[in-house]
Copies of this chain bind each other. A is one copy, B any other.
Amino acid sequence: MPTDLKYLAVHTMTNKPWTLRQCVDAYSQAGIGGVSVWRNVIEPIGVDEAARMLKDSGMKVPALVRGGFFPAATSSDRQKAIDENRQIIDEAAAIGAEMVVLVVGAVPGMSLAEARKYVADGIGALLPQAVDRNIKLAIEPLHPMYAGDKSCINRMREAREVCEQLRSRMVGIAVDVYHVWWDPDLQAEIELAGKQHTLFGLHICDWRLNTRDLLTDRGLMGDGCIDINKICGWARAAGFKGLDEVEVFSDNYWAMDQDEYLKLIVERYQGLNV
């Protein structure tokens, strides 16, 4: 059974060469159910036009990407990060997004444990606004290879611990298979996130063997070694009802004709059994 495209969302960054207009038109025409929006495609046109465009399309907008980067050496820099995130939450509300994805940050020379405290503090400070705007905040655990300066949360467990500390229906987890597929606790943590109602997002792509670059060499589903069907199955079993978001950073795919690439994305998605 091919997977129904209404359950598919594509991140604008996946088609990096395209404007938001081009993404929205192409995804709509393909019958894709949702679009997750990176801030760089809003910037040239402004949030009002982006909001109109997305509303007119009728597509769902699972996520605005990305907020976060809470840890910093000084309290004034930490406050700056919180202020920046407030603006991002407002943007998310304006474009009708369900959640803001948080890449939580890390600071070289600061222990990851200390950084995680600032993450919890930062998200905590945003909660009243998130509740008011009805915008969920989704912590995205990033692969340990990003622990140096991008994320002090590298497994679902540390994301869960922040959720358990903050105890808000607006704080949860975005699970990206690229980052967490290797985690021996993944199935148990997904089950637990289901029970705790924190399974907010599910990002799919693949881990290429012989990955050439730590940032821009992700694979499309089927290019690599991740058992995507299995992980998506765990999420479904845990009650996840959101869209399957395709988020791929890839110099190779960005160099392709993007219409051809989108056909390939659709084909690969329909080849899954999720």
Contact = CB atoms under 8 A, between A and B. Distances in A.
Interface of A: 108-109, 111-113, 143-145, 147-149, 154-155, 157-158, 181-184, 207-209, 211-212, 214, 224-225, 227
Contacts of A111: 227
Given A112-B184, A145-B214, A148-B211, 13 more contacts: A108-B224, A109-B225, A111-B227, A113-B184, A143-B144, A143-B145, A144-B144, A144-B145, A144-B182, A148-B207, A148-B209, A149-B209, A155-B184
A182 B227 contact: no
Contacts of A158: 184
B211 A112 contact: no
Contacts of A145: 143-145, 211, 214
A187 to B, nearest CB: 10
B149 A225 contact: yes
B184 A148 contact: no
A144 B158 CA distance: 16
A225 B157 contact: no
A225 B148 contact: yes
A184 B207 contact: no
Contacts of A147: 181-182, 207
A52 B214 CA distance: 42
A271 to B, nearest CB: 16
A184 B157 contact: yes
A184 B155 CA distance: 9
Name the residue in A109, A209, A224 with the highest tally of chain B Cβ atoms < 10 Å from its Cβ. A209
A210 to B, nearest CB: 8
A214 to B, nearest CB: 6
B214 A148 contact: no
A109 B207 CA distance: 12
Contacts of A212: 214
A183 B184 CA distance: 13
Contacts of A209: 108, 148-149
B112 A182 contact: yes
Contacts of A155: 184
Contacts of A109: 225
10 contacts: A108-B209, A108-B225, A111-B227, A143-B145, A145-B214, A148-B207, A148-B211, A149-B209, A154-B182, A214-B214
A116 to B, nearest CB: 8
A1 B239 CA distance: 57
Nearest to A113: B184
Contact of A214 (B149, B184, B211): B211
